[in-house]
Chain A
Amino acid sequence: MATVELRGIKKNFGTVAAVNGVDLLISDGEFLVLLGPSGCGKSTLLRMIAGFEKPTEGDVLIGGAVVNDLPPRARKIAMVFQSYALYPHMTVFKNIAFPLKAQGVAKAQVPQKVEWAASLFGIGHLLARKPRELSGGERQRVALARALVREPSVFLLDEPLSNLDAQLRASARDELQQFQRRIGTTTIYVTHDQVEAMGLGDRIAVMKAGQVRQIGTPQEIYDEPADTFVAGFVGSPPMNLMRHREYILGFRPEDFHPRNAINGAVKTAPFKFNVSRVEYLGADRLIYGTLVGDYSDQKVIARLPVTVTEKVDAGARYDFTVPERELRFFDKTTELRTSPQPV
């Protein structure tokens, strides 16, 4: 159990600044997700916490102590790699036992610890197999067991679910979160998948171009995005953003409904919507089109749940609205969140 703190971390590769000033405090037992597109620096940040890269500037603290000069093995951390990095020539048992042996754990204790870790993930029956004989999901669990057996202070996970089939990913996500709740170890998780991030994290740090744009709970990130990048990155389909007068206006597709479908008591902002295409997705309908009038034909998407039965056809124009409290306003130049403006 430990806190992890990053102070003023910068990392340059030659002239490229992969990480450009990050300050982060992760509490003991917290599940923090580093979310961002490729190239945003999240993996580099993780590798600096692990000790594979040295920060160009700044300090990494684990459990309150500066660890910049400590090699990975001295940091009491465990890491699960995107490729799982299982030792291909060793059995599952030996894979899990390897860190114990490296730390000099007494020979007699090794088998019971290995079995404990294996049983936590339900792979006790696979101990004699080699990695190439396992499925993707099984390999992932072996990687987790190997990480767990060291009883580390911090878990580092680098996109561990991205190599799994889509169906497996949801159940793996569920298991992972339950497991973390049970064990209670501080966990730092890197992903580019915002659904994963929203589902797993206690807090999410959204990164772009080497900096953290916003850090908060999933609800904070979603409901109160700090800038247009966060607003557009989280949420599927992304928030509708459009230039309007001297600011940028934003609203989420699920808040964009036909006027008739909204309770009359709610204050709303009106829009004229030219529909170009309708996608029927089962539980929702996605309506694609453009806004007319002040909004100079900018493209927007509406998401209507199946409970909204209003008929919407491609090629027609409709009166749509957004509740005023769901409107978000961003500064035109800095793209940061600003206070509400007249629409």
Chain B
Amino acid sequence: MVESFRTWGARLTRASILGVLTFFFAFPFLWMLITAFKQTGDLYDLQHNPFLFYEPPTLEHVKRLFYETLYGQWLLNTAFVGVLVVLITIALAVPAGYALGRLSGGWGARLGIGIFLTYLVPPTLLFIPLSRVVVNLHLDDSLWSLVLVYPSFTVPFSAWLMMGFFKAIPRDVEEAAMIDGYSRLGAFFRVVVPISMSGILTVAIFSFTLVMQEFVYAVTFISSVRNMTVGIGVPTFLVHGDVYFWGSLMAGCFIASVPVAILYNFFVDRFISGFTMGAVK
């Protein structure tokens, strides 16, 4: 980049920006981790340095999390919804992305914009009518309501990402397959999909994280604790009135966030390339 970055002043600025902001981002997770393993007496003693362990770390909060709450059940619920929604998303978004990226004429670009506009109608508006729909379908308080509704926000962006990935594959490959004897659809399944596997995986991971994140629909449709996902179970149930079991709470937060982040990290590069590819119309 620019030569001036090599000067000391610039290096210092760069380091401090990075340092401060990275600390800002990561600190809550560090704090989650420490709180999760601190013994209660140590944790709530205002005289103690919160970063030091005055008593040895304990697993009691984690145990309480898994044995005395339905956290484990919530994890399973989230996984259940996640996997199903990912499958539905792939089934809908991959062909749609292909249509947008390859087979579009003028209406392709317009539909692309239309996809953006879908996000203008957010869950915080739709949850009101959808709550009625869910009740009428007798899906209230069921995880199936989430499975039904979640693709509405995973599919548009996933289709857009897939469009970007497909655009990056040269047409020659498909045309070679068509000369070899496949129809266009055959070429799509036999050639294009295998090549874009990593793109599809990226979309899968991204959709899964969207599912884990979701709060509004879950808190609206699900009422019994048994059926909660981790995203709403932790905030709503583990907070009993005004008594917060912070140790277990933080353990629950850590488990629900960091492992997925590690997985997501492997796919971030592809996500970025798909995003930029889609932006270059």
| B interface residues, tally (CB under 8 Å) | 2
Interface on B for A, CB 8 Å cutoff? 3-4
Assembly CA distance A249 to B3 (angstroms): 50
Is A72's beta carbon under 8 Å from chain B?
yes
Q: List 5 A-B contacts (CB under 8 A).
A: A51-B3, A71-B3, A71-B4, A72-B3, A73-B3
> How many A-B residue pairs lie within 8 Å, measured between CB atoms?
5
Closest to B4 in A: A71
- Chain A residues contacting B3 (CB-CB under 8 Å) are 51, 71-73
| A interface residues, tally (CB under 8 Å) | 4
A68 to chain B, nearest CB (A): 13
Tell me the interface secondary structure of chain B in the complex.
helix
Assembly CA distance A51 to B4 (angstroms): 12
- Chain B residues contacting A72 (CB-CB under 8 Å) are 3
- Chain A residues contacting B4 (CB-CB under 8 Å) are 71
Assembly CA distance A73 to B4 (angstroms): 11
Assembly CA distance A71 to B4 (angstroms): 8
Closest to A72 in B: B3
Nearest 5 Cβ contacts at the A-B interface: A71-B3, A72-B3, A51-B3, A71-B4, A73-B3
Assembly CA distance A72 to B3 (angstroms): 8
- 8 Å CB contacts to B: which residues of A35-57? 51
**Most B C-beta atoms less than 10 A away, residue of A71, A72, A73:** A71
- Chain B residues contacting A71 (CB-CB under 8 Å) are 3-4
Closest to B3 in A: A71
B1 to chain A, nearest CB (A): 11
Closest to A71 in B: B3
Assembly CA distance A73 to B3 (angstroms): 9
- 8 Å CB contacts to B: which residues of A210-255? none
Closest to A74 in B: B3
A299 to chain B, nearest CB (A): 35
Assembly CA distance A72 to B1 (angstroms): 12
Closest to A54 in B: B6
- Chain B residues contacting A73 (CB-CB under 8 Å) are 3
Closest to B6 in A: A71
Contact indicator per residue, chain A 54-95, by CB within 8 Å of chain B (1) or not (0): 000000000000000001110000000000000000000000
A47 to chain B, nearest CB (A): 12
A67 to chain B, nearest CB (A): 13
Assembly CA distance A71 to B3 (angstroms): 7
